[in-house]
Structure 1
Amino acid sequence: MYIIKVKGVAKIPDYVQLRDDKFTLLAYFRVDRPDKSLDKVGLGHKADYIMNIIKDLPFGQILKLDVEQQS
């Protein structure tokens, strides 16, 4: 899975994209409202782990993440 954090401009908020290994979009959500999107793709139980990574991830950087290895 890949995480991309995108900086919003003007009235468009900052958001996050979660993509699979084929780079297909899995989830797209605002940085401040991840809950329903993560639940929808089955990652609600990993929300704290994912959001801690997103918090420190610079805008525009793509990070490969293996959520299956995390508890």
Structure 2
Amino acid sequence: MYIIKVKGVAKIPDYVQLRDDKFTLLAYFRVDRPEKHLDKVGLGDKKDQIMGLVNELPFGQILKLEL
């Protein structure tokens, strides 16, 4: 699984993309509202771990996520 942090502009907030190994989009959510979307893809129990990585990840970089 891969994680990408996308920088928002003006009134558009910052977003996070979660993608599988084939780079198919699994989840797309605002950085400040991840709960519902992570629960929907079955990663609600790993929210703290994922959001810790998101907060440290620079915008535009792709990080391979090993869960």
TM-score, normalised on structure 1? Answer: 0.93
Structure 2's unaligned 5+ residue stretches are none
Percentage of matched positions with identical amino acids? 82
Aligned partners of 2:63, 2:15: CA distance in 1, in Å? 15
Q: Runs in 1 of length 4+ with deviation above 4 angstroms? A: none
**Correspondence for 1:14:** 14
**Correspondence for 1:35:** 35
Q: How far is 1:42 from its partner?
A: 0.1
Structure 1 letter corresponding to 2:47: A
Structure 1 letter corresponding to 2:41: V
TM-score, normalised on structure 2? Answer: 0.99
Which secondary structure does the structure 2 equivalent of 1:8 belong to?
Answer: coil
**Correspondence for 1:60:** 60
Pairs aligned (count): 67
Aligned partners of 1:3, 1:65: CA distance in 2, in Å? 7
Structure 1's unaligned 5+ residue stretches are none
Q: How far is 1:39 from its partner?
A: 0.1
RMSD: 0.3
